Structures are given as structure tokens and as C-alpha cells.
């Protein structure tokens, strides 16, 4: 896919997330890896109304070289995309249920959402490290997210929201949606002692789809 097509896809998927309530106002940001740099949603932009031509362009060293000023979360996205060379995109949301889990979980926890359904394991994996609270845009978050993302497709920022990677932009968006629905299920079933997938069932899924 050429850059123009990726810009169009980014705007279309941002709008889709926004229209279905995964993002409200100007919350959230998305980045996509290119052969010679990155695309990133502009700071203070609404995911529902992205103009493909104004999406921020960064070079391979993460310098802003075109489009509107990039998201203040460059450090967050750089942390994941440098930790995971196979990742092609990163989606950060303030989606309600995942963020609620991020307000309940303790920083350092690695599985704040239990393995309730196969698709969560297939899309997000076995672990979802909880990163301690940092002010949005704080460069200090980069090292902790980078270390955690080496072993996890997604991380959960305490009192802030999820950061999800995928091989492609479509994969990252699908994983972010699945994470949100799994968080919703987990909260719905909180205290109800639901049956979880067994470790052997999780292993089987990871071997087949991980």
C-alpha cells in the first residue's frame, strides 16, 4: 500500500473508531510505520475527522517533516514501534472499559484482563502489562513502555488507557477493539467467578495464532 492509501485508511479507521464510541473528543492517537518513517495523527485532532493530507509525517529518526504537529505521545508510539520491529501500527485510545480496568489494576500487574475468550488471547495475547501513571506526553514513559512492549502486543497505562500494536493498521485497530470488548466482559463478570480458559487452552491458541 502506498503512503496516500495508508493516509486514507488511517482516516477511515479513525472515523470508524470514533463513530462507534471507542474514542471521543480529541482523545487517542494512531501511528503507522512507513518504509522511511512514520505517519501519526496530529495533536488535538479528532479521530473522527482526520484529513488524510494533514496527518503528521515523521522521518525515520522521528523528526516532524510534514503535515500538522504530531501527537504529543510520540514517545509512547516510539517506545512500542522500536520494541516491536514486526509491528506496523500503534493505536492509543481512552476507550471506557479498558480505561476503567486501568484505574483498578495495580501498576506492574501483567494480566489485568483474564483469558475469558479465545479472541482476546489471539489478538492481544497472554499479557497486558500495566504501566504506572505518567502525565500525557511525558517523555519519561518511553523506557517503561519500551521494556514492557518487548514481551506484549499491548500495554495498559494506569489511569489513562490502552496502547495496542498490530502487524498492520487494521490489525492494531481490531486488537484495540477486542481489548475494549474483553475489558467490558471482565467488568461485567467481576465478582461472578467466571470460568476462564485453562493454561493449556491459552497455550494452544498462542501456538496456533500467537
Ligand X SMILES: O=C(O)[C@@H](O)C(=O)COP(=O)(O)O
| Chain residues in the site for ligand X (CB under 6 A) | 26-29, 41, 43-44, 71-73, 92, 136
Decide whether 41 or 126 has the Cβ nearer to ligand X.
Answer: 41
Distance (Å, rounded) from C-alpha 38 to C-alpha 64?
9
Instruction: State the Rg of the chain over Cα.
Output: 16
DSSP bridge partners of 38: 33, 58
**Residues acting as catalytic residues:** 73, 119
Decide whether 9 or 73 has the Cβ nearer to ligand X.
Answer: 73
Q: To which H or E segment does residue 40 belong?
A: strand 37-40
Calculate the alpha carbon distances from 78 to 62, 70, 72, 89, 210 in Å: 8, 12, 11, 10, 23
Decide whether 72 or 184 has the Cβ nearer to ligand X.
Answer: 72
Amino acid at each position: 500500500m502506498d503512503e496516500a492509501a495508508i493516509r486514507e485508511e488511517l482516516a477511515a479507521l479513525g472515523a470508524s473508531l470514533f463513530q462507534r464510541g471507542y474514542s471521543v473528543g480529541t482523545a487517542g492517537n494512531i501511528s503507522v510505520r512507513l518504509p522511511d518513517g512514520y505517519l501519526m495523527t496530529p495533536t488535538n485532532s479528532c479521530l473522527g475527522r482526520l484529513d488524510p493530507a494533514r496527518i503528521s509525517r515523521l522521518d525515520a529518526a522521528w523528526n516532524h517533516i510534514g503535515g500538522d504537529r504530531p501527537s504529543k505521545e510520540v514517545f509512547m508510539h516510539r517506545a512500542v514501534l522500536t520494541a516491536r520491529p514486526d509491528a506496523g501500527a500503534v493505536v492509543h485510545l481512552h476507550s471506557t472499559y479498558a480505561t476503567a480496568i486501568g484505574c483498578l489494576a495495580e501498576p506492574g500487574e501483567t494480566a489485568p484482563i483474564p483469558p475469558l475468550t479465545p479472541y482476546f488471547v489471539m489478538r492481544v495475547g497472554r499479557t497486558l502489562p500495566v504501566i504506572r501513571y505518567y502525565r500525557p506526553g511525558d517523555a519519561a514513559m518511553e523506557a517503561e513502555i519500551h521494556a514492557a512492549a518487548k514481551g506484549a502486543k499491548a500495554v495498559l497505562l494506569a489511569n489513562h488507557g490502552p496502547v495496542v500494536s498490530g502487524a498492520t493498521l487494521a490489525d492494531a485497530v481490531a486488537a484495540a477493539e477486542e481489548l475494549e470488548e474483553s475489558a467490558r466482559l471482565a467488568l461485567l463478570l467481576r465478582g461472578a467467578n467466571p470460568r476462564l480458559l485453562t493454561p493449556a487452552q491459552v497455550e494452544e491458541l498462542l501456538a496456533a495464532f500467537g
